Amino acid sequence: MSSLQPMSEQGQALPGLPQQSDAPLIVYIDFKSPYAFLAVEPTRKMLAANGILADWRPFVLNIGSYLGTAKLAKDGSVQQQSRSQEQWSGVKYAYFDCRRYANLTANTIRGTVKIWDTNLPAIGMWWLKLHESLAQQNDPEGLLQRYIDAVYLPFWRREFDAEDIHAVTAALAQIGAPVEGFEAFAAAQGGSFNQSFQIEAFNSGVYGVPTYLLPGQQDATGEPCRFFGREHLPRIKWLLTQGTGTAPDVAYSLPQPLDAQVLEKCASQPGVTAGAKELPVYFDFKSPNSYLALAELLAMRGHGITLQWHPFDHKPLNNPVPAKADDDRSVMHRRIRGEYIAADIQRYAPHPLADIYLTTDCDVANMGLLWVAKAAPNVVDDYVEAVFLALWREHEDIAQTEVVLELLVRVMGDDFDVAAWTEFSAGPGKQALAAATARAADAGITYAPTMTLGDEPFQGRAQLPLVRARLLAGI
């Protein structure tokens, strides 16, 4: 038995390695993560519907190592902080995004006043895993699942002190779990195990939550398949149930039934899209995530939705730097995250992508888009698709005027006026592109692709089910 395997009197052992389990799925969560909170119920439903057992484990995030730190005063003002403007923007969007999905299910997510240390409630999970079998840990009436709710729900209402051992003990007692010996366990064996396990989990590639590992299935590197985020549940289900046909894309699941009253609860400006079926899409041709979203975006047209394409210059992905012996947690996190993002893009790509770190100048192609949108709006979708395919599938250099000219001729046919296009691209087109870029900046757009409903941003193609539902309901 590994040094990371304390065993209870009941005979249950804690895991020896972060990537190994007797269950076909490992689910890592952290109580201070709103994204993990939102993932719990859809994960439970997927497991129950397919008769699958999961090994639920805690992973304690070190948020300061990648998002900086901040603490709010009682009046809500920032008392202390070490975040860049980019980090603040990411944090604010994350809470905004999580709250709208929480509102769909009548859950509450209140922004935290500080970055909490959630090691104690994590140890509470280990304690329960010592007292229940794997089947019991997945039973909705079992101790572990009820404990998860007993901590998550009050924590996000700001009614649970995650750093108070007595609060954790009270949560255990509330669900009828054994509490005798827990505090001693937390102070000694449990605390030591948790500390060691967290380090090993991070070193094995778990950097965020929710993270899903499939120990029985390997990726291209020979490691267990790893997914970060609840948007991967469709693919995870497909893999665990040996699905056939085309593997599903990422998508945030929506509660059912989903009617207008439910949808209104998640809209910051209900009625702003009433009667409209137009979807603004901010994108970048050189963004691999924009390319991966293309098929799902074009499919929106089948629901009578018109796409409005807005080009902007998205910051290219960072190519992870090689590991060094003296790397600190922050450097390691950026590398692990970067490597995961690269692998995930290739996993969902319709074909292998030669270079996901493209820095191609897209100005000519973007001016072509603005030209088509004005001269022949009925084929603007065809032009966008043609440019994407030329860049990512055919590896053509869309920075070259000749390449874009050929695409314009192909898409517009006899309607293409070479002289008018040449005049446009030489002057007015540059001004129009500068104005379009400024509008994106004024709207606070930083991620490609971003869809908007009124002033509400939706980052990434996983948002499309909610975006579509909102548009069709006029909300």
Measured CA to CA in angstroms, residue 251 lies from 52, 216, 424, 430 at distances of: 20, 23, 39, 36
Residue 358 burial (CB count, 10 A): 19
How far, in Å, CA of 230 to CA of 241, rounded? 17
Q: In this predicted structure, what is the pLDDT of residue 44?
A: 98
Q: Give the Cα separation of 193 and 89 in Å (integer).
A: 35
In angstroms, the CA 35 to CA 459 distance is: 14
**Residue 72 vs residues 62, 84, 145: alpha-carbon distances, Å:** 18, 16, 31
> Is residue 223 within 8 Å of residue 216, measured between CB atoms?
no
What tokens appear for 30 in the block?
């952290």
Rounded (5°) CA angle 467-96-61: 115
Which residue's entry shows tokens 């599938």? 393
- What integer pLDDT is reported at residue 106 of this predicted model? 85
pLDDT at 218: 86
Q: Is 387:398 a contact under the CB 8 Å cutoff? A: yes
First to last CA, the chain: 56
DSSP assigned state of 446: -
Cβ atoms 150, 171 nearer than 8 A? yes
Using alpha carbons only, give the angle 114, 96, 231 rounded to the nearest 5 degrees. 105
Query: How many Å apart are CA 58 and CA 127, to the nearest integer?
Result: 11
Residue 257: CB atoms within 10 Å = 7
Q: Rounded to whole angstroms, how far apart are CA atoms 124 and 178?
A: 11
Q: Tell me which residue of 343, 336, 310 sits closest to 322, measured CA to CA.
A: 336
Please name each of the domains of the chain with its CATH number: 25-233 (3.40.30.10), 260-316+358-473 (3.40.30.10)
Sequence-separated (6 or more) residues with CB below 8 Å from residue 7 = 1, 13, 14, 130
What sign results for the dihedral spanned by CA atoms 84, 325, 338, 119?
negative
pLDDT at res. 113: 83
The answer to whether 253 touches 42, Cβ cutoff 8 Å, is: yes
d(CA 259, CA 453): 18
d(CA 143, CA 11): 17
Please give the Cα distance from 352 to 339 (Å, whole number). 16
Q: Which residues pair with 306 in a beta bridge?
A: 278
Separation of CA 288 from chain center: 15
Q: What is the pLDDT of residue 355?
A: 97
d(CA 134, CA 446): 43
Which tokens sit at 216?
A: 């029985």
- Mean pLDDT by runs of 10 across the 475 residues of the chain is 47 82 97 97 98 98 71 51 60 91 92 92 97 96 98 97 98 98 97 97 96 90 90 97 94 90 82 73 98 98 96 94 92 94 96 97 98 96 98 98 97 93 94 96 95 95 96 90
